[in-house]
Amino acid sequence: MINDNFVAISSLESPEHATRKDPKIISAVWFLGKRCNYDCSYCSPFIHDNYSPHIDIEIAEKFVDNLDKHCTAQGKQFKLTITGGEPFVHPHILRLLQYVKNKTACTQLVVTTNGTLPLKMYMKSLEYITNLTVSLHLEEGNTATDETVDKIIKLSRVANFFNVNIMAVPGHFDKMKETIEQFDKSDVNYIIRKIDPPTDDFEPNKKTKSQGLQEGETESYLEDKKLHKNYNNSVFEKFWETYYSRDEWEYLQSFEKTSSWNNTRLWFEDGNFIETNSDELKRRNQNNWQGWHCYIGIDSINIQSDGTVYRGYCMAGTPMGNINTQLVFPEKPIVCPLKWCDCIADMTIRKVKNLDYKLFVE
State the burial class of residue 7 (Cβ atoms within 10 Å of its Cβ: 0-12, 13-18, 19+): middle
Give the chain's mean pLDDT.
85
DSSP-assigned letters across all residues of 261-329: ---EEEE-TTS-EEEE-HHHHHHTT----TTSEE-BTTTEEEE-TTSEEESSTT--SS--EETTS-B--
- What percent of the chain has pLDDT above 70? 86
pLDDT in tens, 252-277: 888 876 556 788 999 999 999 999 88
pTM of the model: 0.84
Confidence of residue 329 (pLDDT cuts 50, 70, 90): confident
pLDDT at residue 56 in the model: 92
Question: Of 37-46, 204-213, 337-346, which range is least confident?
Answer: 204-213
pLDDT in tens, 66-93: 889 888 988 899 999 999 899 999 999 9
pLDDT at residue 213 in the model: 46
Domains of the chain: 24-235+296-332 (3.20.20.70)
Q: What is the CA radius of gyration of the chain?
A: 20
pLDDT at residue 130 in the model: 94
